[in-house]
Structure formats: structure tokens, C-alpha cells
Structure 1
């Protein structure tokens, strides 16, 4: 039997859940169990729990068959807890390092009290940490002393939460404590447990990091009639008092907590629907009069006036007072708006005029790689949109210096032109694999689709804050851009979890697969043959596609591979296709070597998918190309000569050397040996590739673009089912394509 049981209710937290679980499993204290309750979460949270439970026997997972809410989910976990003490941890929060050791030590030092209260701190997306404003209440002159609430009544002023306390399990059983359904379920549990405990101890140490989710993860901040649940919660508190006459002394203090709570809900914007405010006030007033303790003294000042209005049921007076406050706030808001308008004038009078025009419901504006090309996921969505919804006009935003590379027949506008600003202002749909510029205004009714352009190995978004040497990004501006997203496209659950954590905004994730990878599933032998012919690859030539990624600490493209030596040692039947990262543009270093004829610079090729089809194998380091190329089930060689430097400077989500998609080489000599001997393609590397594909090509079944178009443009809510992994085809290899064509 463990000493500590941690009950973790889980619902729609897949972006934060791994960090929560890691913070517990990584503790130096080990005598604990985790009871994780999947509250019928619609995202991948349940699968994440199962994966963790497979790796660590201290985790037990309960999958509920229906969503029952936070309180009842905690009850389900509580029923299975076997520890001497029960702790509750919300699944987007984390334990601080050493927290469980500190908690266990204090429990022992204080003689196993019924409740131990410990401290917490609020953490924010930008790295800020704000201490508990009432942390002073946890200070004690004698750290081994226990007491009842009567000796420290100010503890009632702590936030009404359950996850900053350890509760002795036999105390919970003796008092019959359970969590009620509905909002504000912590109030009955917190108040009833504190007033019932005979021995309470304190731990003046931050043990929980309370995540302040930027995207509004707290349901208490949502506009809903569910806030009326607070009346039932305080009914339960006072029913408990009625059933325990020995606790009558707490009627006054708990009455004050009730009234303050009601007023907070009334005063906070974004909680009660406007048409429900009067009803809420009248119900609060009725509770006030029904539970007013004899001899109760109101607080002084403005707060006391509000108590008086509740007692008199003076809703009109309350509204007048709040309206006066609102008018003062409105005046300040108008001043800020005037300043913002003057700033927006920099966008141009024309753009402003177009923003006042109606949206064109049948116009979609596409962009890829900062408007450098017609490519990637947006191009695949464009093509499928033409097939399924030809009534939607499709226009591309293209930089003036890239206009010459626009494929024939593609409608486009030059970035910066009047046509460009008009399209941005009036298009119903905006599709991009990066963010649109800061100047772009998200209009009501517009739909922004963020397709991304790769599965992340390197850290992205807010995670880059941990690696300042890799970026000079303004993270506030980044999240303001991401706030415009309505949909975020994902090709696997791994990416979904990363995107939702590092871009914490209110968008809908579409786990469709990457549209650009559809061709890698659906292409036939003729497509492969055409791709090779366009590159001048003769039959029988083995083509290796070399795609190193961008390194922030290098100013230009300097391949960590001696291309001339590569060409010489591998012989005349091998061609190396070299594609530098798009950040580098045309590379003089590679251009000099093109004249050999066996090294082909494909950096400017418009469709990387065609390069994938043409290549017999991929050589890369940390590029997201490996995740896409894996769809083809062809050999992938990870050439990582500077892994230690790259992972330290940029940060990565997993160790590529330990979980590669195939063969691994860390020196050029090792790479040449692998290629010359054929060891890059053997049963061991095939097994690694299969595991990699199942993890990262999860939804890439050839129907990704169709899923996006049906959901976003056609409004269909039921997605196409994903083809089972083992039933999916993929494009033939070059050798297979040659054989099939000759046979035909």
C-alpha cells in the first residue's frame, strides 16, 4: 500500500498531460500511486494515459464511459485510492521538483495530521511565476505543530481549491466527504473538510505550479447558466453545518465566504449571461436573508454596501452602481481604441475601407512559406477544393520576386498590392502554412486555417523560450498571430499535443493527416517515372535525396557532408539530389558542384513531394522531411554529426539517435560505409522505420486534403474514417515503378 495516492482527473488536456505526469513520475520520492481518471475525454488524453501506464506500473487508469465532470471524476479516482493520504492534482498543473518528498517529510514530522496544506504558485505561458498572494497564511513558528481551524481561522481566506492539500484517507472516509457535481465543486469539500479536521499542518513550500491557461482552459471563466450551480454548492455547505451542531461557530465565517463568492460571480465579466443576471441576484439575495446569522456584522466600505443591497434585494441599485463603474471603464477603453486606430492607419486607408466591405463567401486566399511559392499543404488543399467545391474562387498571395515561379493557370495577387489587401480583407477563407503578417486583421466570420509545414522534431512556439540562443522571436506577437487560427491541421497525435501546448489559443485541431502527403499514398508507377524523368534520372540510377535542415547558429548553407567525396566514392550509378533549407535560397556552394552531373541541386524545385517520389532513399539530419518521406516506406538515413550541438541550441522533442526512422550515422565515413554496403536498408532499419511510421504517419492515408475541405469549406462534421494502417497503399519505389511500367 503506497503512502500517497494522487488522483488526476483528465479531460481535454492532451497538450499539457505529459508534462503533468512527468512532473509526478520524475519526483525523487517513489512511494505513491497515480489514479488517472479519463473523464471520457474526446481528444487523445485517454491514449496518453494508457501509454504512460504501460511504461510505469504506479499509474492506474480509469476510463469513464460518459463525461461526468470534474467532481464526479475525482470521486471515481477516490474510490480506487489505496494510499494513506490522498492528493488531488489537476491534469494541466504540475508538481514542483521535490514536492512529494517535502510533503511526506512534513506529514511524518507533524504526526500524520488529517490535512496538510501546502503552497502553490501561478505559472504563465511567458515564463512568469506569480506567488500565492496569501502565502503568509502558511507560515508557522513551529513546523511540527498541528492545530484546528479555530486556531487559524484565516486559512478560510485561501483560495477554495483541493489540490494544495494532502488528506488522510481515513479522515475522508470518516467525514463522508465526496465531490458534488457542477461548477464550484471545490467549495463544499474545502470548507467542510477544514472545519471538521482536528489536526491541520502547514508546509510553507510551493509544491504545485498552477497553470494559467492563456486560451481560457478554466471553465469558470465561460459565460453560462452553469454558474447557478454555486447555489447548490453552498446549500450543501450549510446542510453539512445543520447536520453537525458542534460546528455551529462556523456559520458566520462561511456566510461571509458565501456572500463574497456570489458577489464575485456577479461582478466578474464573462460569467453570467446578461439575461440571467437579475435572476442570479435575486437568488443570491434569498440565500442571504435565509442564512443571515444572528448578530452578523457587515464588512465596512463599499463591500459592506454591496452586502446591504443583497440583503434588501436591491437589484436596480446594484445595476446603477455597476453601470457607473462600466462607464468609467468604457471611457478608458475608447481612449485606447483611438490610439489603436491611429496605429492601424499604417496598414493603409485602402485596407481599412476593404475591411468594411462584406466578406466574399466564395473566396479563399492561400499562402505558403511566407508567400514564396504555390506548395505544401495549402497547395494540396487548393487542388482538392477545386475538385469538391469548384464554386469557391482560389487565389494565392505571392511575393513580387516569386511571381515568375507561379504555375500556369494559378490565380494570384502580389503581396503588398491593392488586390492583395482586398483579398485579405474580404476572403472568407485564409489558408497558410505559416502565419499571416501582424498587420492582418481577423474579421468576424473569416476562417483561418493553419496547416503547419512539418511534424516537429525541434522545439516550436513557446517551447523555444527555453532555448533563447535559437530565436529572437517576440512571443507576445506570435500568440496574437495564432489567435487568428480557427483550425490547426495535424498529421499525428504527437504533433497535436505539441501544437496545442506551444500555441495555446482557441482553435479547433483537425487530425486529418497532411494534405501534401496524399500524393505519397496515391501516386502510381507513372507518377514516379515522371518525377524521375523530370530530374534527368536514368533507369537503374540510385538517387539519394539529401535534405539537411536549417541551423540557427550557421549563417548560410554549408552542408556537413563533403559532396565531392560522396560522388566519387559511391560511383557513377548514384546521384545525390541536394535540397538546402528554404531559408538559404540558392547556394553557391552547391552550384559549384552541380557541374559534376552526379550532384543535382534541387533547392529550387517547387514540389518537394515529387522529389520524394523520385528518390530511392532519404538522407537528412533533423528536417521534418523524415516524417513525410516515411509515408513511402523507403529507407531513411539520419546523418547527425552535430546532434549534441543542435539539440542543445535548438532543443528537440525526442532523441533522434535513440528513436531514428532507420540507419544512423554520426560521421561522414560511417555514412559512406552504410550507403556503399547497403546496410542502410536491412531488417533492423526496416523495423525502426515501421515503428516510426506508425507513430508519425498516423493519419496520412491519402485522404487528408479531402477531410480538410469537407470540414472547413463544406461544413461536414463527420470526418472520413482513417484507413487502417496495415491496409494503406503507398507509391511504388522507383524499381517497382519501372517493373510495373515495363510489365504493362
Structure 2
């Protein structure tokens, strides 16, 4: 073997993972141990150009595409370190990992460490990743949790994995001599499971293995399996099943009776969770061929050998049927097992029972062609575009349709005849399965069934300011599966309402939506163009018990997601000095506060009675826009809608410096485009209000440009246009 020039060679198989490689290399640059080289094997792609730390000793290898196995083999050949560590391009290491591995390094000794999984980029993981991952655990498990001995590599590296494909060589410190002299190489015929035979051969041929409790290999799961699937997320069932059996066969040569139980158990779980379900979905010929291959695979251990593996009844029966090559019995047993599990869940869970009835009973019933279901903000309010579509339909087509509104448990105050149902009640599932028309301003449940003849109108709920769905890198405020779930949900949308060209363009790429886009403006903004504006303003003020002779300031700040001090315990510190504002402006103005509903009850405005009003729980913010003379906001998208009134807007951005990192996640440059001044103090806000005419003049050109871009489609007839398209479209009949 050639002379070793450094302690460790880190081999990275790179296949154009541009969005991940920066974190991967940054984690290496910040290692506390620096006696290593990086072998970056570019597998059928160009070398990355951005985010390459200058301090790293990187050897770049260019090759035609051969897959992960071929790239790692090329890395082994190029490596000059005494030891080799395999690192995937989308993963990263804790800062002390290489030092921890080197600390335990001995000649002919394989060192292994703990692995963890995360959905997040390195920065997010370092800041709060472990907590987020714990909250968003979406892992399924192949079998029961198994207590493992970390000092036993077969248990720790195999039994401790959740899936067959999770068995890997990643994060091991492997003597290069062991790889070169045996020789040990990855099988390039295997795309998904090439690690498994290599790991088993390494463990079989290594004179010694050592567990190091320090250091962590961080496996990053992809939150966008639609555009950027990892190998685990690729939909390639036929090949994955074939490779599972092939890799088991190859690896079995290196497994003895003493150390093989964990290995064979994990394959049995693979049969239960992957191979048997695949056979259910397969056509007869493919099912028969799979059963034949499975029989040959299971015969490697044999009937007596499998009898010694600790398995429960279901996997043991599948093993028996597999050894007999009986595809029909495998399928029947798997189906019956699934039915028993479903029956148990249905009988013991009210929620599961509703879902079952929805999918198996209600969705098979006759569709109600005159039924329209409306939902606004998950049933929390009677508001937004669904409200104005509902009112237009009642005024224009009285008696033609039956209506059903979804509520969140509290009855909505509706001006026209309509039934109501609580979200996720039995009634909800019954009508969601049968109504022809569905009008939502948010996402439908993940399990929604799009029946033939269903018409789904998605109005959405605002011009996008913060980046959405597929334009986001990390998803920290929703499930890590958010992107995949969103993609599936949008496939059911027949129509999507866009308020302006900018929004349409964003919706197309952020939602990956290629369906019908309604270029109508938002129905919720029709009220801002009403002909009887003065009359409505008086009525709204009377409804809210507001003085008719005072000008109105609407303060609508965005929700800061760091404003809490415990689970479901929210705080809010009002930065506007209401006492000073009342003293300086109280003769001319009153102020309405519209904050996030999380903190609606936190505000105590009792000492400002007659000047400040808490309307955070008022359903329809559009009606508050209509009566307001000035809007004060910050980073909330409310200003897109309010601009339709062409009234002054002030932006109270007191925490601008703190928020700059957030602003980078916005679609627009707020400091360049906002049609009003950005103010940092209450005194500046008061000064702007006292000189509001000067503000209007100063920002006139910018305001005009803003309206041309974001309000051009709004004219007060959006509801009419939407209804005439959706409910008169011949294709929907």
C-alpha cells in the first residue's frame, strides 16, 4: 500500500447537490481535528463553485456518472490517508467528530460513532435542530424498538437502524489498508443498497471494532422529495425490492451465526414493510417472479436458521410462506394483517373511525351537485374571500345552491341561510365526501379524496411576502413533510385565485401549480371598491361602537414567532407608546389594534379607553381597512390589500436590524418597495401622522408604482368573475 500522507481521507460522493454541499464542507472546515484531506468525487457533474472553504485540502475527482458506489470506489483509489471516512454530500458532521474518531484510531481498528437524523440545514440544526426534530418526528419503524449494545457493532449499526436501506458505512473510521488489501469495494450494480455488503464485509474482516461515544454523524433528510429526493425517497419500488434481496444475498457471505441475528432480523422487517406490500401492488407475473427470488434469498439461511431468529407471529408466517415460494399466501396474510390493524384502529380511535367512514363509505355515496362547502382559516372565522363569494352567490343565485360552512367549534354569524358543521366532526366528513363544490382559503386535509366531478376552488389568503413552500429552504414552522404534503394537496385544486401578476408567478413556482389560475383579484377586496363606501363605513363604526367624528389608525403588526415563554403561552410587548400617542393625537385620532389571535387576550388597553380598541378577534379585517384612514404595520402582508384604498401607510419597523435575516426570506425588497416611511420610534410615528399630507406627497410616485404592480387586477368585481367562471364552467357540469 502507498505511504499515508495524513491521518484521514474524507470521501464525498457528489452528484450536483449544490444546495447541500456548502453545509457539508463547512462542517469539515470547522473540525477541531485538521489532519485530513477531502476527496470530492464529482459523479457525472461539474464541481461545486460556491461555498468552498479555502482552508480545506480538497482533491477533486471528475468521473462519468457511476452512482454513489462508483464514486466511493474512486475515492478509495485516490485516498492517501491512513483511514477513510465516507460522508454524503447532503450530510454534515458535528465539529468534534473527526477528532473523536482519531482519538480511538488504532491499526486495523474500525471506529464507529452515533448517527442522528435531521430535516434542517446546519445553522438551524445548531440553533434549535434537536428540539425541532423531536417535535417533528416523522420516522416510521420497521418493527419494535430494540435495545442495543453500542459496543456490539452488529446490534448498533444494523439492529439500531429503522429501515434496511438505512444500514450504511457512513461515519465509520475505516483503515485504508483494510479496504485496499482485501480488497473491499462497493458493488456498482447496486444503486440503493451498496453499503450493506460492504459494511458486513468490513465488520467480518476487521480485527477489532471500537465504539466512540463522542462525535456525531448528522444525516440530513430532504424536505423536498418532489424536486430533490434522496436515494431513500426515490419512488423506485421494483428496483429497491430487487436490491434488498440482492444485497442480503451478497452480505450473507460475511455473516456468521453468532453475529447474524440482528442482520437477519432487519431483513425480516424489510420483508414485512417493503417486499410484501410491494407484492400486493404488483401484477401477477411480477408477483410470481418476486416470490421466486424471495424463496432463493430466504433459503440462504434456511428454515432451521430462520427458526432461531426472534420474530413475532406475522413476520414468521411471511418467512414461512416466502420459503415455500407462495406469493398468494404472502399477499393474503399481509392484507389480513393490515385489515386487523385497521379494524383495531377504527374501533379504538374516534378520529380513525371518521377517516375510515369518509374513505370507505361516504365517498362512495351519491355526490350532492348543489352543495357548496366554505371554509375560511380552518373554520376560525367568517371572513376572507370565501365570505365574499358566499355573499355574492346568495345575492345573485338565491335558492340555487345549498351551503355548508365549516367552523372550528364556535358557530359563525352568517347573513344568509346555510348549515354549519364543526371541522373534523362526523358531519364534516359526510359532507366533505359528497359536496360537489368546495371553496377554501387554506389547505384541505391531507387525506382529502378528489372524487370525479368534484370542483375545488382555492382562494388562498394573501399576496405572498414571505417565501412559500418550494421557495423555502428550511421548514421550521410546519411539518418537515410540508412540501410533499403541499404538492399532493395542490393536485386537487381545480382553480387558484391570484390577486395580481406577481402573485400568479409566485404561486406557479412556489406551489408548483400548473392548474387554472383565476386572474381576478381577491374577492375579499371587493368591499374596498364598493359604491356605498360612506354608508358602510358608518355602519361598521356603529357596529364596533366607534366614534364617527374621529380619524382611525389601524395598527396591524406581524406575529413574531419568538414571542412566547412556554408552550401555548404567548407574550407581546407593545412597542408603540399609546399614552404618548393619546396625548399628542387623541383629539383627532383613535387607534384600532389588530394583532395575531395568539396574543389577542394578552393586550390590556383599559387605561386607553376611548382611544385604543383591541379588535384582534374581529373576523373580517377588510372591514377594518375600509374604516381606517391610516395603516401602521411592519412586515405583515396586510399592506398589499390596504393599498387598494390608496390611503397612507406607515411602517413601524422598530426591530429592523433583528429582522434583516428574516427579510432575506421575503420576495420583495421592503426597504426599496414599501410605499411609506419606515419608522423606528413612537416619536417618528407621531411626527408622520401629524404631517401625513407631507408623507402622502413624498411617497406618491412610489405608491403609484406599488399599486400598479400589486393592485392592477382589483376593481371590486372579483367575486363576480370567480363565481361566473367556476360555477358556470361547462367542464364542471
Give the TM-score range, shorter chain. Answer: 0.5 to 0.7
2:224 is the alignment partner of 1:224? no
Q: Show the 5 A alignment for 1:243-392.
A: 263-268=268-273, 269-272=276-279, 273-275=281-283, 276-286=286-296, 298-301=305-308, 314-316=324-326, 320=329, 330-331=339-340, 333-340=342-349, 357-360=365-368, 363-369=371-377, 371=379, 375-376=383-384, 378=386
Q: What is the TM-score with the length of structure 2 in the denominator?
A: 0.55
The 1:708–1:568 alpha-carbon spacing in structure 2 relative to 1, beyond 3 Å, is: same
CA contact (8 A) 1:122 1:210 kept: yes
2:105 is the alignment partner of 1:110? yes
Residues 643-677 of structure 1 show CA distances to partners (whole Å, capped at 9, x for unaligned) of 99x99xxx989899xx9656554542243346567
The SS at the match of 2:365 is coil
- Find 1:101's aligned residue among 96, 100, 103: 96
- Find 1:184's aligned residue among 174, 193, 214: 193
In 1, the alpha carbon distance for the partners of 2:644 and 2:52 equals: 27
In 2, the alpha carbon distance for the partners of 1:629 and 1:511 equals: 29
The 1:459–1:335 alpha-carbon spacing in structure 2 relative to 1, beyond 3 Å, is: same
Residues 257-306 of structure 1 show CA distances to partners (whole Å, capped at 9, x for unaligned) of 997676544332534435444321212334567xx59x998354367988
Q: Which residue of 1 aligns with 2:633?
A: 620
The SS at the match of 1:136 is coil
The SS at the match of 1:365 is strand
Q: Which residue of 1 aligns with 2:397?
A: none
The SS at the match of 1:366 is strand
Q: Which residue of 1 aligns with 2:127?
A: none
The 1:175–1:627 alpha-carbon spacing in structure 2 relative to 1, beyond 3 Å, is: farther
Q: Which residue of 2 aligns with 1:722?
A: none
The 1:712–1:547 alpha-carbon spacing in structure 2 relative to 1, beyond 3 Å, is: same
Residues 86-123 of structure 1 show CA distances to partners (whole Å, capped at 9, x for unaligned) of 543474xx657xx2422244236626979653221467
The SS at the match of 2:242 is helix
The 1:235–1:603 alpha-carbon spacing in structure 2 relative to 1, beyond 3 Å, is: closer
Quote the offset at 1:423 in angstroms.
Answer: 3.8
* RMSD (CA atoms): 7.8
CA contact (8 A) 1:665 1:671 kept: yes
CA contact (8 A) 1:369 1:434 kept: yes
In 1, the alpha carbon distance for the partners of 2:380 and 2:224 equals: 31
Residues 303-337 of structure 1 show CA distances to partners (whole Å, capped at 9, x for unaligned) of 798899689x5223x86588568757755653443
Quote the offset at 1:358 in angstroms.
Answer: 2.2
In 1, the alpha carbon distance for the partners of 2:135 and 2:92 equals: 19
The 1:126–1:509 alpha-carbon spacing in structure 2 relative to 1, beyond 3 Å, is: farther
- Find 1:120's aligned residue among 115, 120, 138: 115
Q: Which residue of 1 aligns with 2:435?
A: 427
Q: Show the 5 A alignment for 1:697-736.
A: none
- Find 1:669's aligned residue among 679, 683, 698: 683
Q: Which residue of 2 aligns with 1:203?
A: 212
Residues 591-640 of structure 1 show CA distances to partners (whole Å, capped at 9, x for unaligned) of 9877x8xx999879876468769989742256453576699999865436
Which runs of 5 or more structure 1 residues have no equivalent in the other structure?
41-45, 141-151, 242-247, 387-391, 468-472, 501-507, 717-744
The SS at the match of 2:555 is strand
The 1:442–1:167 alpha-carbon spacing in structure 2 relative to 1, beyond 3 Å, is: same
- Find 1:561's aligned residue among 569, 576, 580: 576
CA contact (8 A) 1:156 1:191 kept: no
The SS at the match of 1:298 is helix
The SS at the match of 2:135 is coil
The 1:600–1:212 alpha-carbon spacing in structure 2 relative to 1, beyond 3 Å, is: closer
The 1:77–1:523 alpha-carbon spacing in structure 2 relative to 1, beyond 3 Å, is: farther
The 1:588–1:7 alpha-carbon spacing in structure 2 relative to 1, beyond 3 Å, is: same
In 2, the alpha carbon distance for the partners of 1:555 and 1:627 equals: 27
Which runs of 5 or more structure 2 residues have no equivalent in the other structure?
1-5, 119-132, 395-399, 470-474, 542-549
The 1:653–1:71 alpha-carbon spacing in structure 2 relative to 1, beyond 3 Å, is: farther
The 1:37–1:613 alpha-carbon spacing in structure 2 relative to 1, beyond 3 Å, is: farther
The 1:113–1:107 alpha-carbon spacing in structure 2 relative to 1, beyond 3 Å, is: farther
2:405 is the alignment partner of 1:397? yes
